[in-house]
Amino acid sequence: DIQMTQSPSTLSASVGDRVIITCRASQSISSWLAWYQQKPGKAPKLLISRVSTLESGVPSRFSGSGSGTEFTLTISGLQPDDFATYHCQHYDSYSWTFGQGTKVEVK
């Protein structure tokens, strides 16, 4: 089974910072890679699908990139509303795998 590992587990940042979260796969994977944002006590919200496709209504400061085994979520200019936990997710052959999550907290 493919494992998805996010780094860092926790990231301390300030408003305005550029934040990069990495998601690594245990082997080369397809482009079925998505990112979700989850705030405390709330359900996850889809941000990005297919590595880099921004969902409707998601601010353009969010972007995704990568290929093979390494993928990144970048927040360019962190806003107060962005402090949350971010999860990557991969799909392969009717199996859906999440990373362990990255918490972006106030520095």
Binding site residues, another protein, CB under 8 A: 32, 34, 36, 42-46, 49-50, 55, 87, 89, 91, 94-101
Per-residue b or e along 65-97, where b marks 16 or more CB atoms closer than 10 Å to that residue's CB: ebeeeebbbebeebeeebebbbbbbbbeeeeeb
Beta bridge pairs of residue 92: 95
Q: Which is nearer to another protein, 16 or 94 (CB)?
A: 94
The minimum distance between CB 56 and another protein, in angstroms, equals: 10
The minimum distance between CB 32 and another protein, in angstroms, equals: 4
- Assigned token pair, 5: 């590992």
Query: Which residue has 């940042």 as its token pair?
Result: 13
- What does each C-alpha distance from 26 to 5, 18, 41, 97 come to in angstroms? 8, 26, 30, 11
> Rounded to whole angstroms, how far apart are CA atoms 42 and 84?
10
The minimum distance between CB 76 and another protein, in angstroms, equals: 23
The minimum distance between CB 18 and another protein, in angstroms, equals: 24
Q: Which is nearer to another protein, 44 or 75 (CB)?
A: 44
Q: Which is nearer to another protein, 32 or 107 (CB)?
A: 32
Q: Which is nearer to another protein, 22 or 100 (CB)?
A: 100
